[in-house]
Amino acid sequence: MIQIFVAFFLWDKIFENPGRIVFGYDRSKILTYVFAIIIVRALVLSARAADVAGDVAQGELSNYLIKPMNYFKYWFTRDMSSKILNISFAFFEFIILYLILRPPLFFQQNILIILAFLVSIVIAIMIYFYMLFIVSSVPFWAPELGWGSHFLVTIILIEFLSGALFPIDILPAGIGQVVMSLPFPYLIYFPVQVYLGNITGALLVKGLLISSIWLVILGISMKYVWSKGLKVYEGVGR
Amino acid sequence: MDKAIIVDHLVKNFEVNVKEPGLTGAIRSLIKPLKKAVHALRGVSFSIQTGELVGFIGPNGAGKTTTLKTLSGLLFPTSGFVEVLEHDPWERKPEFLKQISLVMGQKNQLWWDLPAIETFELNKAIYEIPTREYEENLNELTTLLEIKKHINTPVRKLSLGQRMRMELIASLLHKPKVLFLDEPTIGLDVVAQQKVRDFIYEYNKKYQATIILTSHNMDDLINLARRVIVIDEGKILFDGALEELVSRYAKEKIIKATLSSEDNIKDLDKIGKIKKLAFPEVVISVPRSATAVAAAELLQNFAVDDLTIEEVPIEDVIRKVFRGELRK
């Protein structure tokens, strides 16, 4: 909520003069971007799987390993329920903020674009899930680094590089291109831009391709890291 | 009879980061981490028949829990062979996991804020227990453990003893064929201990379940385990009947005598080590080989009304095991 206010007022201030265009964005575009983030954030970045690190460090993982259940599916289900909860909160947040701030809104009507948006959201959710699990396996080797590594990845990298604070295309072209080849912008920036109709055609296909490749890479890495991690798992805390 | 558990030359090493105290130690361990290998198990071999109830004893850090965790598939063996119910535990196949259970006295699986019944329902789903079977099992377990009226109470409000019994129920709803119990009576009062103990005995009898039990509670071992495996520093020191453990490791025997007069009473210590002297009762411990001689001497030189020769109590031997005195 506060993050949204900060982002909103920051951009609102910059675009005080209605005719002003900064980084190719005018006032209504940037405010729509900020508002779209509310929903996409709730869909993608609300996940419980960050707690996996605690399970590993404290040995709680044993309770799950001993049962005939799939630990990944267990957390994926928890993530999903967390998303449903968060999306309903985000909905209220959205309405309240809308009533207070009255930003210009943009509703996508092209079915194909909405479909592409949904695909990009699914990819984003999976990428984030895999990322969390990979980061959460750090405590297999260094139990005390669980929180630190989460801070580094979820706060620093994801907040800055996912587009949750600012659209990636305001970065200088060179840096922007590097960032776009990383998995992070496909969490927030890419789905939002697809929804807003700013990424279409060849760029859309390219983006979906890059994010799918990352999805596969991260999925394989996660399986690998976990199978290695479980072998050194000590089930501490008795 | 077939073997439920086979363990052959099992070795498990852990790597531990060694850190010196204080800030300089912290920085040093960050720059150059010092790894130390801990040999938790150094070539352990044993096998257990279906339906056996075996006690695992040894001092703290001997490797008991490590063995149980390896048998239940939580730990990856460094080397050696492990087979439980014809499965490799490490694969953690659902068919295997549905037949075993690991109960750790200090680790709980119950949801803290919810009544125990919620955890039971969840386990019903996880283990895919048919509804009728589930209800029968639940009813039976809650009756046996005398805890029926508490299943709807939030776990946080249960006493330790009640909680432990709920843990047992949660672990047994799927009727495991192999049960690993790690300190099941730890922290319980005498009455609760007895209930849990009776229950384990019943469960073993009724379902021909194979049970491995570790405990620091002597009553658990004396009442439940006919066969014990003594483990220390990652090695098996003894594997056999509980009575045999006593006759092998008790180097002394106990002579109890009732005296009719206090004559020469000061010379009693020439016979053996006096453990208790409260006239007319006297308890002397003598070396096993010298028992007959000592008894004869006692009868000759003192006014003895009554005399018995006994084995050292099991408790004393087990106490030695816990102190790690068997390794010498």
Residues in chain B with CB shorter than 8 Å from the CB of A233 are: 74-76
Beta-bridge partner residues of B278: B281
**CB-neighbour burial class of residue B14 (10 A; exposed 0-12, middle 13-18, buried 19+):** middle
Contact between chains at B15 and A69 (C-beta distance less than 8 A): no
β-pairing, B100-104 vs B178-182, is parallel
Q: What is the mean pLDDT of residues A73-101?
A: 87
What is the distance in angstroms between the Cα of A46 and the nearest Cα belonging to chain B? 23
Q: What is the mean pLDDT of residues A65-83?
A: 91
Q: Does the beta carbon of A63 lie under 8 angstroms from any beta carbon of chain B?
A: yes
Would you say residue A237 lies in a domain?
no
As a whole-number percent, the residues of chain A with pLDDT over 90 amount to: 33
Q: Does the beta carbon of B102 lie under 8 angstroms from any beta carbon of chain A?
A: yes
Regarding an ipTM greater than 0.85, the answer is no
Report which of B239, B209, B235, B231 is spatially closest to residue B49, judged by C-alpha positions. B209
Per-residue pLDDT at A19: 66
- In the structure encoding, which two tokens stand for residue B50, read together? 């279906």
Q: In the predicted model, is pLDDT for residue A28 greater than 50?
A: yes
Please, are residues B208 and B50 in contact by the beta-carbon 8 Å criterion? yes
Contact between chains at A235 and B97 (C-beta distance less than 8 A): no
Comparison of pLDDT for B109 and B130, the residue scoring more: B130
Give Cβ neighbours of residue A40 (< 8 Å, ≥ 6 apart): A121, A124, A188, A191, A192, A195
Report the range out of B121-135, B283-297, B310-324 with the highest average pLDDT: B121-135
Would you say residue A62 lies in a domain?
yes
Report which of A228, A16, A232 is spatially closest to residue A134, judged by C-alpha positions. A228
SS (H, E, C) chain A: CHHHHHHHHHHHHHCCCCCCCECCECHHHHHHHHHHHHHHHHHHCCCCHHHHHHHHHHCCHHHHHCCCCCHHHHHHHHHHHHHHHHHHHHHHHHHHHHHHHCCCCCCCCCHHHHHHHHHHHHHHHHHHHHHHHHHHCHHHHCHHHHHHHHHHHHHHHHHHHCCCCCCHHHCCHHHHHHHHCCCHHHCCHHHHHHHHCCCCHHHHHHHHHHHHHHHHHHHHHHHHHHHHHHHHCCCCCC
Helices in chain B by DSSP H: which ranges?
A: 22-31, 64-71, 94-97, 116-126, 131-144, 160-172, 190-207, 218-224, 242-249, 291-301, 314-322
Q: What is the mean pLDDT of residues B58-66?
A: 84
β-pairing, B53-57 vs B227-232, is parallel
Report which of B52, B42, B34, B53 is spatially closest to residue B13, judged by C-alpha positions. B42
Counted domains in chain A: 1
Q: Distance between CA B328 and CA B323 in Å, rounded?
A: 11
Per-residue pLDDT at A53: 87
Q: In the predicted model, is pLDDT for residue A238 greater than 60?
A: no
For residue B221, the 8-state DSSP code is H
Give Cβ neighbours of residue A135 (< 8 Å, ≥ 6 apart): A50, A53, A149, A150, A153, A154
Mean pLDDT rounded to a whole number for chain A: 85
How many CA atoms lie within 13 Å of B264's alpha carbon, on the beta-carbon side? 15
Give Cβ neighbours of residue B223 (< 8 Å, ≥ 6 apart): B197, B201
As a whole-number percent, the residues of chain B with pLDDT over 90 amount to: 34
Q: Does the beta carbon of B107 lie under 8 angstroms from any beta carbon of chain A?
A: yes
Please, are residues B60 and B68 in contact by the beta-carbon 8 Å criterion? no
Per-residue pLDDT at A228: 92
Per-residue pLDDT at B133: 93
Please, are residues B129 and B138 in contact by the beta-carbon 8 Å criterion? no
Q: In the predicted model, is pLDDT for residue B38 greater than 90?
A: no
Q: Quick: pLDDT tens for B185-201.
A: 887 788 888 888 888 99
Q: In the predicted model, is pLDDT for residue A8 greater than 80?
A: no
Mean pLDDT rounded to a whole number for chain B: 86
Residues in chain A with CB shorter than 8 Å from the CB of B94 are: 68
Per-residue pLDDT at B10: 92
Q: In the predicted model, is pLDDT for residue B274 greater than 50?
A: yes
Q: In the predicted model, is pLDDT for residue A237 greater than 60?
A: no
Give Cβ neighbours of residue B64 (< 8 Å, ≥ 6 apart): B56, B57, B58, B182, B214, B231
As a whole-number percent, the residues of chain A with pLDDT over 70 amount to: 91
Report the range out of A84-93, B106-115, B131-140 with the highest average pLDDT: B131-140
Q: In the predicted model, is pLDDT for residue B138 greater than 90?
A: yes
Contact between chains at B74 and A68 (C-beta distance less than 8 A): no
Q: Model-level pTM?
A: 0.82
Chain B interface, best mutation among A66, A78, A232, by max B CB count within 10 A: A66
Q: What is the CA radius of gyration of chain B?
A: 25
Q: Does the beta carbon of B97 lie under 8 angstroms from any beta carbon of chain A?
A: yes
Q: Give the residue numbers spanning the domain of A87.
A: 2-232
Q: Quick: pLDDT tens for A161-213.
A: 888 878 888 888 888 889 899 999 999 999 999 998 888 889 999 999 999 99
Q: In the predicted model, is pLDDT for residue B328 greater than 60?
A: no
Per-residue pLDDT at A33: 81
Q: Does the beta carbon of A68 lie under 8 angstroms from any beta carbon of chain B?
A: yes
Would you say residue A9 lies in a domain?
yes
Q: How confident is the model at residue B204 (pLDDT cuts 50, 70, 90)?
A: very high
Helix and strand element counts for chain B (H, E)? 11, 13
Q: Does the beta carbon of A62 lie under 8 angstroms from any beta carbon of chain B?
A: yes
Would you say residue A41 lies in a domain?
yes
- Report the residue of chain A nearest B101, measured CA to CA: A66
Would you say residue A238 lies in a domain?
no
Give Cβ neighbours of residue A55 (< 8 Å, ≥ 6 apart): A61, A64, A136
- Report the residue of chain B nearest A233, measured CA to CA: B75
Residues in chain B with CB shorter than 8 Å from the CB of A62 are: 69, 74, 102, 104, 107
